[in-house]
Amino acid sequence: MEQQALVIALIGILGIGAQWVAWRTGWPAIVLMLAAGVISGPVLGLIDPEAAFGDLLLPMVSIGVALILFEGGLSLDFRELRKYGGGVWRLVLIGVPLGWLLGSLAGYHIAGLVWPVAILFAGILVVTGPTVVIPLLRQSNVQQRPAALLKWESIVNDPLGALCAVVTYEYFRYAAQGQGMIDVVPPLIIAALVAAAIGYAAAWVIAWAFPRGLVPEFLKVPVLLVAVVGTFVLCNAIEHEAGLVAVTVMGIALANMHVTSLRSIHPFKQNIAVLLVSGIFIILSASLDWAQFRQFEWQFGLFLGALLFVVRPATVLISLLFSDIPWRERLFLAWIAPRGIVLVAISGLFALRLSDLGYGDGSILIGLSFAVVVTTIVAHGFTANLVARWLGVRGETRPGLLIVGATPWTIALARQMHELKTPVMVVDASWGRLKPARAAGLPTYHGEILNEATEHNLDLNPFQVLIAASENEAYNTLVCSEFAPEIGTDSVYQLGEGGDNEDHRSLPASLMGRALFASGLGAADVHQRQMDGWIFRRTKLSDQFNIDDAKEVLPEAANMLLLLKPGGKMRFFTHASAPEPQAGDTIVSFSPPGKKQIENAKTKPGKQAAKAAAQM
């Protein structure tokens, strides 16, 4: 028991640790998790999941995959599909059969697999999987359309790949008993439709019960998780792997029933998804057996090359032929297709079943599936940003600033940041208040930022910092509270002093964003100062002109707002912390028009020129 607890703790440390290192370094998280699992498992022998969990290992992985698919389904809104549906349907309706066919040919003619094993493995290979695609997209700066197409394809194709494998296995199993295709396929299609209906019914029950108060708030998450697991297990009892169809349909259905009471669980489901992805990746990669790789033959290497450079590109390019998707985006989609947990889990399941049917190549599937996972994760994980930049489908490279509330002060701030090459967007529900921003040539969005439709009409991915600076402090707090889980608590700011939890008349600090100024200037304060002639200044620091010199140049009443790094990162001066300025940084401050006069100031060599440049 203590050994199992130690293994669980180590899996958590390695999985989340790999995610943290990926966040700090920018390396692909999926590659780091894969490396951590291999090193801790077959290399060092610290983790042996099969010995630790025994017969529970496969059910644990299966339920984890089901929860990941459900969470992914919750992010698929049909309003997004209306924008990109043509490409999605092509990748599903044309891409899945075509990829299955080409993969089968490659498996038989190149890898040397017998037809039954080649066809079954090719069916599983149509999956890309949200467990690898979503973390990859989270770290890769890709434009909205190709990112949405990859996300939809990965989530929809996951259960379809499992069904392809089930159809193949059942056909060859019944063929050995003298039965034909007509005896196998219709029952499987009926089982898939029944599973989809059960998934939809489960979603409808949740959507009906939650808003009516039939489930208390503290039980909503547990009830939802139990419903997902129960639906998955029930449908798997009807047909192998039909549960994946059910939970995917359940997630998509709930996402499009627009149950407002489910918004509160979004941060929790995202945390669960990160934990599950991290844990399952470590478990599966630590389960590797070197004996399986010893079966790896030279033609398998050619098969992997064909998978990367022939099967996937041909599948995508033919599927998207005559579509309105630009060629650059098609080529990017043709390259990105990492495989992950579902491929390994289903391959391991059917490898044993094929061996029982007398197909010797079945045992090869486990090692070959891991080879596919490692190859695609490394190839696509390390090259996604490079290929996106080469093809011109990268999003904005510099961190962006989203400003909520169009006032003279926010528009002046947006103009200053725009001149500093920082991507900026001013959002307001009033068309009239946005008029000065439009006249200044600033990007604007006319709409309510808290409206759920905004996330489908406005691409928020380029914006790493949010400033809520309307004239209503309570509204600013609501905006910061809503976007803190998505953008980050340390990256949402608002005007005014920080909250005071001890004063029952003030807004709580836990809901508010960070104060924009260390002095706690509010909306009325900055408006009055702007009326008095205060302006935004930018001061460039260098080796000859440091922060102390900048303070001498700026008026005494000036308030430093933020520090802009050469790469575009923004660091704000708040009451809680102040960044450490370095040479090359630019300080943006809000200050009166006059300059502080320093008597008997000792001027360093070259400082006069630096001071003059700093006032620009």
Residue 202 has pLDDT above 70, yes or no: yes
Q: Do 452 and 384 share a structural domain?
A: no
Q: Do 466 and 609 share a structural domain?
A: yes
Q: Tell me which range, 278-287, 407-416, 565-574, 599-608, is most confidently predicted by mean pLDDT.
A: 407-416
Q: Do 378 and 407 share a structural domain?
A: no
| Residues 297-324, mean pLDDT to the nearest whole number | 90
Nearest Cα neighbor of 543 from 601, 606, 602, 598 is 606
CATH number at residue 215: 1.20.1530.20
pLDDT, one tens digit per residue, over 137-148 is 767 778 888 888
Q: Does residue 439 lie in a domain region? A: yes
Residue 526 has pLDDT above 70, yes or no: yes
- Per-residue confidence (pLDDT) for residue 603, from 0 to 100: 42
Read off the amino acid at residue 379: A
d(CA 5, CA 593): 64
Q: Do 161 and 84 share a structural domain?
A: yes
- Per-residue confidence (pLDDT) for residue 600, from 0 to 100: 35
Higher pLDDT, 325 or 454: 325
Q: Do 546 and 424 share a structural domain?
A: yes
Q: Do 192 and 294 share a structural domain?
A: yes
- Domain boundary among the residues 391, 411, 428 is at 391
Tell me how many domains the chain contains: 2
d(CA 249, CA 242): 11
φ and ψ at residue 106, rounded to 5 degrees: -65, -40
Q: Is residue 137 helix, strand or coil?
A: helix
User: What is the residue-averaged pLDDT of the chain?
Assistant: 82
Q: Does residue 48 lie in a domain region? A: no
Instruction: Tell me the residue range of the domain where 446 lies.
Output: 400-614
Residue 149 has pLDDT above 70, yes or no: yes
Read off the amino acid at residue 328: R
* Least reliable range by pLDDT among 49-53, 228-232, 346-350: 346-350
d(CA 328, CA 313): 13
- Per-residue confidence (pLDDT) for residue 219, from 0 to 100: 87
| Residues 32-48, mean pLDDT to the nearest whole number | 86
Nearest Cα neighbor of 73 from 1, 130, 10 is 130
- Per-residue confidence (pLDDT) for residue 32, from 0 to 100: 85
CATH number at residue 508: 3.40.50.720
Partners of 494 in the β-ladder? 468, 515
- Per-residue confidence (pLDDT) for residue 505, from 0 to 100: 65
* Least reliable range by pLDDT among 161-170, 357-366, 565-574: 357-366
Residue 105 has pLDDT above 60, yes or no: yes
Q: Do 415 and 482 share a structural domain?
A: yes
Residue 48 has pLDDT above 70, yes or no: yes
Higher pLDDT, 69 or 328: 328
pLDDT band at 601 (very low <50, low <70, confident <90, very high): very low
pLDDT band at 179 (very low <50, low <70, confident <90, very high): low
DSSP characters for 388-446?
Answer: HHHHT-B--SSPEEEEES--HHHHHHHHHHHHTT--EEEEES-TTTTHHHHHTT--EEE
Residue 615 has pLDDT above 60, yes or no: no
pLDDT band at 316 (very low <50, low <70, confident <90, very high): very high
- Per-residue confidence (pLDDT) for residue 80, from 0 to 100: 67
pLDDT band at 417 (very low <50, low <70, confident <90, very high): very high
pLDDT, one tens digit per residue, over 279-309 is 887 887 787 776 666 666 778 889 999 999 9
Residue 596 has pLDDT above 60, yes or no: no
Q: Does residue 583 lie in a domain region? A: yes
Higher pLDDT, 161 or 14: 14
Q: Do 446 and 319 share a structural domain?
A: no
Q: Does residue 26 lie in a domain region? A: no
Higher pLDDT, 582 or 577: 582
Tokens representing 460 are 């928020």
Beta strand pairing status for 514-515 and 444-446? unpaired
Q: Do 364 and 430 share a structural domain?
A: no
Q: Is residue 537 helix, strand or coil?
A: strand
| Residues 86-104, mean pLDDT to the nearest whole number | 91
pLDDT, one tens digit per residue, over 440-457 is 999 999 999 988 777 767
- Domain boundary among the residues 339, 357, 391 is at 391
Neighbours of 389 (CB within 10 A): 12
Q: Does residue 90 lie in a domain region? A: yes
CA–CA distances in Å: residue 31 to residues 26, 127, 292: 11, 18, 20
Q: Do 114 and 207 share a structural domain?
A: yes
pLDDT band at 360 (very low <50, low <70, confident <90, very high): low
Q: Does residue 240 lie in a domain region? A: yes
pLDDT band at 402 (very low <50, low <70, confident <90, very high): very high
Torsion from C-alpha of 88, 89, 91, 94, nearest 10 degrees: -170
Residue 610 has pLDDT above 80, yes or no: no
Q: Do 413 and 366 share a structural domain?
A: no
- Per-residue confidence (pLDDT) for residue 502, from 0 to 100: 61
Q: Which residues fall within 8 angstroms of residue 348, CB to CB, at 6 or more apart?
A: 58, 365, 366, 369
pLDDT band at 422 (very low <50, low <70, confident <90, very high): very high
φ and ψ at residue 571, rounded to 5 degrees: -125, 125
pLDDT band at 597 (very low <50, low <70, confident <90, very high): very low
Residue 22 has pLDDT above 80, yes or no: yes
| Residues 452-480, mean pLDDT to the nearest whole number | 85
* Least reliable range by pLDDT among 14-18, 166-170, 596-600: 596-600
Under 8 Å between Cβ of 541 and 582: yes
- Per-residue confidence (pLDDT) for residue 537, from 0 to 100: 92
Q: Tell me which range, 5-9, 76-80, 360-364, is most confidently predicted by mean pLDDT.
A: 5-9
Residue 522 has pLDDT above 70, yes or no: yes
pLDDT, one tens digit per residue, over 246-262 is 888 898 898 888 777 66
Contacts 24+ apart (CB under 8 A), 368-372: 368/111, 368/121, 368/296, 368/300, 368/303, 369/121, 369/124, 369/339, 369/343, 369/344, 370/285, 370/288, 370/292, 370/293, 370/344, 371/293, 371/296, 371/300, 371/304, 372/125, 372/304, 372/307, 372/339, 372/343
- Per-residue confidence (pLDDT) for residue 261, from 0 to 100: 65
Q: Do 360 and 456 share a structural domain?
A: no
Q: Does residue 11 lie in a domain region? A: no
Residue ranges in 140-241 assigned as alpha helix (H): 144-175, 181-209, 217-238
- Per-residue confidence (pLDDT) for residue 446, from 0 to 100: 92
Q: Does residue 3 lie in a domain region? A: no
Model confidence, pTM: 0.70
Q: Tell me which range, 114-123, 392-401, 529-538, is most confidently predicted by mean pLDDT.
A: 529-538
Q: Is 111 left (phi over 0), alpha (psi -120 to 50) or beta?
A: alpha
- Domain boundary among the residues 345, 369, 391 is at 391
Share of the chain above pLDDT 70, in %: 86
Rg, the chain, Cα only = 28
